Amino acid sequence: MSASRPIFSRSDRVVAIVGRPNVGKSALFNRLAGRRIAIVHDRPGVTRDRLSASLKDASFPISIMDTGGIGATLDDDFGTIVRAEADIAITAADLIVFVVDALSGMHPIDQSVAEKLRRQGKPVILGINKADDPKHDLVSADFARLGFKTVRSFSAEHGRGIPQLIDAIESTLGPPAEPADPDAEDYDPNADPRCVRLAIVGRPNVGKSSLFNAILDDERAIVSAIAGTTRDAVDSFYNHRGHPFLLMDTAGIRRQAKVDDAVESYSVRRAERSIRRADIVALVVDAARGVTAQERKIASIIVEENKPCLIVANKFDLYHPDGEMKARLEELESHVRRELFFLHYAPLVAVSAKSRDRLGKIFGAVDKVRAASDSQLGTGAFNRLLQEAITRTPPPAIGGKRFKLFYATLAREEKQRPIIAPRLVLFVNHESLMTPTYRRYLENTVRAQMTYEGLPIRFDVREREQRKARRTEKDPHVRDPDEDAASHDEASTKEAPNTRRKGPARTAPRPSRKQAAARDASNARKTPKKKRPSSQKVPKSQRRDRAKKKTARRGAGRNR
């Protein structure tokens, strides 16, 4: 695992290098980067981390990413991690360079990877590596059945064909579009990736529309003391010192029990949709009245949507107007942090839309959130940070088991936006062992190092693939030894079947008369005498009379 990897800029075009193990992906990565970054070895499965660097000889900014081999069968527990890292790179890439081996030819894994890449729907360049000699270019016909239009042969080790590959990458990506001019008449903020979509949300009558108009310096939205005046989500473009913004004024979100009008119910849904559309959400609260239960409900929606956020305390001119400014701000922040404790990372700005006081603080807070979004740790440094935190404070044991972290990485979102909340992918033994308290501990550890101001941290926890599942996926006909042992134990408890050898029945020889007589005599001795049932027993007086008569007959016989 590398110590740290360079982080590409949001404006760079990203190229992912993928393929099966030991086809020369890392060698190509080093050649395109112009320096040795990835470890190159003949043994398959050496690369595990997702490395990134800048393409050295490109005419415009391009970032390249090296990935582990897809389809690698590793002896350790890194197989799932390598596949997940490759999936992250493929998702984040604008172009994919699919590397195959010219010497070994077509492999079944190459066909599987090709099917996987076709499902992604992204442009693919088929790179045939190890073509050290021009005669090796003829093998490109063998890979034509993979179905990719752009094919380039090269040798990453000797540099042959690398300039042609770079030209193919640049022509496929196309030159970067010129940044749109916000002052142009045909400017479309929805088509500008630099434009920040800022949604202004809150409960009714906290001054959202007043704040919206004060920022634009125009009466764009209707302002009234009547709750529910704003029905539609109004979008307006605003250029703040060369930074384009799309401001979205929304309807006030009330409790569901108080929404008794179909139009208001639709307006509330439009406001919730604006939260999902936004890059950052400004939660407006009434500083004079304080935070209510409805603000906590709206804040929970922002947390569920995983949106960057800042808290705007409006009507600050009515909050202890005679007090000292520093004391007022400290008291207001103490109240807001106590009531909205789960938005502890969101910056707090106190403004007055009516007097247009301190409005610039809002965009200053947005700039801080955007800067925090651009700052990231390298994969190696991020893993060391979490491992040190776990060593310092071990997780609790649950049912005799303890939470274990195998690997962690930072995922890059496929759709580029000016402000993106970090998504941290954790590979663990069991997700259920990561308690909410320990999750918050790890989040606070990351925040202490990175100061992700205004950004929620989302943990994408993935359990380690079980060995049994891996065997079944590799070969469904391979039986699990544990299952065989269990079936053997179960069979041993049952009655053993007749194991006599099949064939014609064999009869014993007929015994002689002497043997038969001895057998019958033996059976007679073994046979117990039958006892007379109690109902057939002779009475005692009758037996006495019979004995007397028998004795008399014996005496008469002797007298004769």
pLDDT of res. 317: 92
For residues 34-60, average pLDDT: 64
Q: What is the pLDDT confidence band of residue 490, given thresholds at 50, 70 and 90?
A: very low
Q: Cα(537)–Cα(534) distance, rounded to whole angstroms? A: 5
Q: Cα(499)–Cα(411) distance, rounded to whole angstroms? A: 61
Report the relative pairing of strands 243-249 and 234-240 from DSSP bridges: antiparallel
Range scoring the smallest mean pLDDT among 220-229, 356-365, 514-523: 220-229
Handedness of CA 224, 227, 229, 235 (dihedral sign): positive
Q: Cα(13)–Cα(94) distance, rounded to whole angstroms? A: 6
Highest mean pLDDT among 16-25, 342-351, 373-382, 496-505 belongs to: 342-351
Q: What is the pLDDT confidence band of residue 485, given thresholds at 50, 70 and 90?
A: very low
pLDDT of res. 229: 45
pLDDT of res. 231: 44
β-bridge partners, 152: 127
| Confidence check: pLDDT of 440 > 80 | yes
Report the relative pairing of strands 62-66 and 51-54 from DSSP bridges: antiparallel
pLDDT of res. 198: 93
pLDDT of res. 499: 45
Residues sharing a CB contact under 8 Å with residue 438, sequence separation 6 or more, in sequence order: 395, 396, 403
Q: How many CB atoms lie within 10 A of CB 202?
A: 26
Identify which has the larger pLDDT, 451 or 3: 451
Kindly tell me the burial class for residue 216, based on how many C-beta atoms sit within 10 Å of its own C-beta (0-12, 13-18, 19 or more). middle
Q: Cα(418)–Cα(373) distance, rounded to whole angstroms? A: 8
In whole angstroms, how far apart are CA 160 and each of 19, 130, 152, 157, 482?
20, 9, 11, 8, 51
Residues sharing a CB contact under 8 Å with residue 293, sequence separation 6 or more, in sequence order: none
Q: What is the pLDDT confidence band of residue 60, given thresholds at 50, 70 and 90?
A: confident
* Cβ–Cβ under 8 Å, residues 199 and 301: no
pLDDT of res. 1: 36
Tokens of 15: 């190229």
Q: Cα(37)–Cα(47) distance, rounded to whole angstroms? A: 11
Q: Cα(35)–Cα(64) distance, rounded to whole angstroms? A: 13
pLDDT of res. 542: 81
pLDDT of res. 336: 95
- Domains of the chain (ranges; CATH) run 13-173 (3.40.50.300), 189-373 (3.40.50.300), 379-467 (3.30.300.20)
Phi, psi of 204, deg, nearest 5: -65, 150
Q: Is 106 left (phi over 0), alpha (psi -120 to 50) or beta?
A: beta
Range scoring the smallest mean pLDDT among 241-245, 334-338, 409-413, 416-420: 409-413
Tokens of 302: 């922002």
Highest mean pLDDT among 238-252, 264-278, 402-416 belongs to: 238-252
Residues sharing a CB contact under 8 Å with residue 463, sequence separation 6 or more, in sequence order: 427, 428, 429, 430, 431
Structure confidence by residue, pLDDT tens digits, 212-265: 888 887 654 444 444 444 444 578 888 888 888 989 888 767 666 555 555 456
The pTM (predicted TM-score) of the whole model is 0.62
pLDDT of res. 126: 92
pLDDT of res. 285: 94
Report the relative pairing of strands 397-398 and 401-402 from DSSP bridges: antiparallel
pLDDT of res. 414: 53
Q: From the centroid of its chain, how far is CA 105?
A: 34
| Confidence check: pLDDT of 369 > 70 | yes
Identify which has the larger pLDDT, 293 or 375: 293
3-state secondary structure of 136: helix
In whole angstroms, how far apart are CA 56 and each of 39, 48, 62, 63, 339?
18, 23, 9, 9, 51
* Cβ–Cβ under 8 Å, residues 34 and 84: no
* Cβ–Cβ under 8 Å, residues 140 and 162: no
Q: From the centroid of its chain, how far is CA 427?
A: 9
Q: Cα(340)–Cα(294) distance, rounded to whole angstroms? A: 11
| Confidence check: pLDDT of 193 > 50 | yes
